[in-house]
Amino acid sequence: MEKIKIIMDVDVGIDDAIAMCLALGNEKFEVLGFTTTFGNRRCEVTTQNTLKILELVGRTDIPVAPGAVRPLVKEYNPPEFSIVHGYDGLGDMADPLPQPTITTCGKSAVQFMADTLRESDEPVTLVPVGPMTNVATLIMTHPELMPKIKEVVLMGGSTIKGNASPVAEANIIQDPEAAYILFKSGLKIKMAGLDATWDGYIAFDELEEFGKANWLSEKIYSMCGIYAEHYRERMKNPGLAMHDSLTLAWLVNPELVQAEDYYVTVDINGRYTYGMTVTDVDNVMKYKPNATVAMGVDRVPFINMIKEAIANLAAQKK
Amino acid sequence: MSKIPVVIDCDPGIDDSIAIIMLVGSDKVDIKAITTTHGNVGLEGTTKNALGLREYLGMDCLVAKGAAKPMIVPLKNASEIHGANGLAGFELPQPQGTFEKDAAWDVMYDLAKKENGEMVLVVLGPMTNVALTILKYPDFKNYVKRIYMMGGSRLYGNHSPTAEFNIWGDPHACQVVLKSGIPVTMADLYFTYSNSVTGAEMKEMYSHAKKLKPMMDAFIAHDMKFTEAVGADFDNHKITICDSSAAAALLLDGDCLVTEDYYVVCETQSGENEGQTVFDYKGHLKGEPNVQLCISIDKEKYQGLIRDALAHFE
On chain A, the residues whose CB falls within 8 A of the CB of B134 are none
Per-residue pLDDT tens over the stretch A226-269: 999 999 998 899 999 999 999 999 999 999 999 999 999 999 99
Low-confidence ranges of chain B (pLDDT < 50): none
Do the Cβ atoms of B268 and A177 come within 8 Å?
yes
Strands B277-279 and B264-266, bridge-based pairing:
antiparallel
Q: Confidence class of residue A27 from pLDDT cuts 50, 70 and 90?
A: very high
Tell me the average pLDDT across A143-147. Answer: 97
Per-residue pLDDT tens over the stretch A38-78: 999 999 999 999 999 999 999 999 999 999 999 999 999 99
Separation between Cα atoms, residue A34 and residue B30, nearest integer Å: 40
Please give the single-letter amino acid code of residue A34.
Answer: F
pLDDT of residue B82: 85
Q: Show which residues of A are catalytic.
A: 243
pLDDT of residue A318: 65
- Interface test with chain B among A72, A183, A272, by most B beta carbons within 10 Å: A72
Mean pLDDT of chain A: 96
In sequence order, which ranges of B195-293 are alpha helices (DSSP H)? 199-206, 213-229, 244-251
pLDDT of residue A202: 98
Q: Is some CB atom of chain B closer than 8 A to the CB atom of A6?
A: no
CA distances from B216 to A34, A221, B12, B207 (A): 54, 74, 15, 8
Give the one of B68, B135, B269 whose C-beta lies nearest to A72's C-beta: B135
Give the one of A141, A177, A268 whose C-beta lies nearest to B105's C-beta: A141
Separation between Cα atoms, residue B304 and residue B312, nearest integer Å: 12
Tell me the average pLDDT across A92-110. Answer: 96
CA distances from B189 to B78, B152, B295 (A): 16, 6, 11
Q: Each residue of B23-45: b (16+ CB within 10 Å) or e?
A: bbbbeebebbbbbbbbbbbbbeb
Per-residue pLDDT tens over the stretch B252-284: 999 999 999 999 999 999 878 999 999 999 889
Do the Cβ atoms of A66 and B271 come within 8 Å?
no
Angle between helices B213-229 and B199-206 (to 10 degrees): 170
The structural architecture, per CATH, of the domain A4-316 is: Alpha-Beta Complex (3.90)
Note whether B37 and B99 are within 8 A (CB).
Answer: no
Closest-CA distance, A141 to chain B, in angstroms, reads 7
- Read off the pTM: 0.90
Angle CA A77–A81–A87, to nearest 5: 125
Separation between Cα atoms, residue A262 and residue A287, nearest integer Å: 9
How far is the first Cα of chain B from the last one, in angstroms, to the nearest whole number? 25
Tallying the residues shown for chain B, one arrives at 314
Note whether A174 and A70 are within 8 A (CB).
Answer: no
Of A244, A140, A262, the residue nearest A200 (C-alpha)? A244
Report the chain A residue with the minimal C-alpha distance to residue B177.
A73
Phi, psi dihedral angles at B306 (to 5 degrees): -65, -45
3-state SS, chain A, equals CCCEEEEEEECCCHHHHHHHHHHHHCCCEEEEEEEECCCCCCHHHHHHHHHHHHHHHCCCCCCEEECCCCCCCCCCCCCCCECCCECCCCCCCCCCCCCCCCCCCCCCHHHHHHHHHHHCCCCEEEEECCCCHHHHHHHHHCHHHHHHEEEEEEECCCCCCCCCCCCCCHHHHCCHHHHHHHHHCCCCEEEECHHHHCCCEEEHHHHHHHCCCCHHHHHHHHHCHHHHHHHHHHCCCCEEECCCHHHHHHHHCHHHEEEEEECEEECCCCCCCCCCEEECCCCCCCCCCCEEEEEEECHHHHHHHHHHHHHHHHHHCC
pLDDT of residue B80: 85
Separation between Cα atoms, residue B108 and residue B129, nearest integer Å: 9
Extents of the domains making up chain A: 4-316
Element (H, E) at B184: strand B184-187
B residues 184..243 contacting A (CB < 8 A) = none
Per-residue pLDDT tens over the stretch A168-184: 999 999 999 999 999 99
ipTM surpassing 0.85, yes or no?
no
Q: Confidence class of residue A143 from pLDDT cuts 50, 70 and 90?
A: very high
Separation between Cα atoms, residue B304 and residue B307, nearest integer Å: 5
Note whether A125 and B151 are within 8 A (CB).
Answer: no
Q: Tell the burial category of B183 from Cβ atoms under 10 Å away from its Cβ (0-12, 13-18, 19+).
A: middle
Per-residue pLDDT tens over the stretch A149-163: 999 999 999 998 999
Separation between Cα atoms, residue B77 and residue B64, nearest integer Å: 20
CA distances from A124 to A3, A16, A27, A36, B227 (A): 11, 20, 16, 17, 56
Note whether A173 and A161 are within 8 A (CB).
Answer: no
Q: Is some CB atom of chain B closer than 8 A to the CB atom of A258?
A: no
**What percent of chain A stands above pLDDT 70?**
100
Per-residue pLDDT tens over the stretch A126-138: 999 999 999 999 9
